Chains A and B, each alone.
Chain A
Amino acid sequence: MKSYDIVIVGGGPAGLAAAASAKENGIDSILILERDRELGGILNQCIHNGFGLHTFKEELTGPEYAGRFIEKVEDLGIEYMLNTMVMDISTDKVVTAMNREEGLFEIQAKAIILAMGCRERPRGALNTPGYRPAGIFSAGTAQRLVNMEGYLPGREVVILGSGDIGLIMARRMTIEGAKVKLVAELMPYSGGLKRNIVQCLDDFNIPLKLSHTVVDIDGKDRVKGITLAQVDERNKPIPGTEEYIPCDTLLLSCGLIPENELSRGLGIDMEAVTNGPIVNESLETSAEGVFACGNVLHVHDLVDFVSEEAAMAGKNAVRYIKEARNEEVARIDMVPTDGVRYTVPKYIRLEKMEDTLTVRFRVGGVYKNCYISTYFDGERVMKRKRPVVAPGEMEEIKLSKAKLAEYPNLKTITVKIEEA
Chain B
Amino acid sequence: MYDVIIIGGGVSGAASARELSRYKVNVCLLEKEHDVCCGTTKANSAIVHAGYDAANGSLMAKLNVRGNEMMEQLSKELDFPFKRNGSLVICRDEEDMPNLQALYERGVQNGVKDLRIISREELVEMEPNITDDAVAALYAPTGGIVCPFNLNIALAENANVNGVEFKFNTEVIDIKKVDDHFEIQTNNGVYEAKCIVNAAGVYADKLHNMVSENKIHITPRRGDYCLLDKTAGGHVSKTIFALPGKYGKGILVTPTVHGNLLIGPTAIDIEDKEGINTTAEGLQEVISKAGASVKNIPMRQVITSFAGLRAHEDGHEFIIGEVEDCEGFFDCAGIESPGLSSAPAIGEMVANILKEKMGLEEKEDFIATRKGVLDPEELSLEERKQLIKENPAYGNIICRCEMVTEGEIIDAIKRPLGATSLDGVKRRTRAGMGRCQSGFCAPRTMEILARELGVDMSEITKSGKGSEIIVGTNKDRL
Contacts and interface: CB of A to CB of B under 8 A. Distances in A.
Interface in B270-307: 274, 276-280, 282-283, 302-306
A134 interface: yes
B113 interface: no
Interface of A: 35, 83, 85, 87, 98-104, 119-120, 122-125, 127, 129-134, 137-138, 140-141, 144-146, 148-155, 176-177, 215-218, 220-222, 237, 248-249, 261, 264
B427 to A, nearest CB: 14
Interface stretch (B8-16, B129-137, B249-257, B437-445): B437-445
Given A100-B392, A152-B473, A177-B474, A122 B437 contact: yes
Given A150-B474, A151-B457, A122 B469 contact: no
Nearest to B444: A144
Nearest to A130: B277
Interface residues of B, number: 57
The CB with the most chain A CB atoms within 10 A, among B388, B438, B442, B474, is that of B474
Contact of A151 (B393, B396, B466, B470): B470
Interface string B425-464: 0000000000111111011000000000000011001111
Interface of B: 226-227, 231, 274, 276-280, 282-283, 302-306, 381, 384-385, 388-389, 392-393, 395-397, 400-401, 403, 435-440, 442-443, 457-458, 461-478
B403 A134 contact: no
B157 to A, nearest CB: 25
A334 B233 CA distance: 33
Contacts of B403: 85, 87
26 contacts: A83-B396, A85-B403, A98-B397, A103-B395, A119-B440, A124-B227, A127-B305, A129-B283, A132-B276, A132-B306, A134-B463, A134-B467, A137-B439, A138-B436, A141-B438, A141-B442, A150-B473, A151-B458, A151-B472, A153-B471, A220-B274, A220-B276, A221-B463, A222-B467, A248-B471, A249-B471
A130 B278 contact: yes
Contact of B439 (A85, A120, A150, A155): A120
Given A119-B440, A140-B439, A141-B442, A103 B384 contact: yes
A124 B440 contact: no
B283 A144 contact: no
Contacts of A130: 277-278
Contacts, number: 144
Contact of B392 (A87, A101, A153, A248): A101
A154 B471 contact: yes
A85 B402 CA distance: 13
Given A119-B439, A122-B437, A124-B304, A155 B283 contact: no
| Listed residue (B393, B401, B439, B458) with the most chain A CB atoms within 10 angstroms of its CB | B439
Contacts of B303: 122, 124-125
B439 A133 contact: no
A122 B477 contact: no
Contacts of B278: 129-130
Contact of A129 (B280, B393, B461, B473): B280
Contacts of A103: 384-385, 388-389, 395
Given A98-B397, A119-B440, A151-B473, 13 more contacts: A35-B397, A104-B385, A132-B306, A137-B439, A141-B440, A151-B458, A151-B472, A152-B470, A152-B471, A152-B474, A215-B280, A221-B463, A221-B466
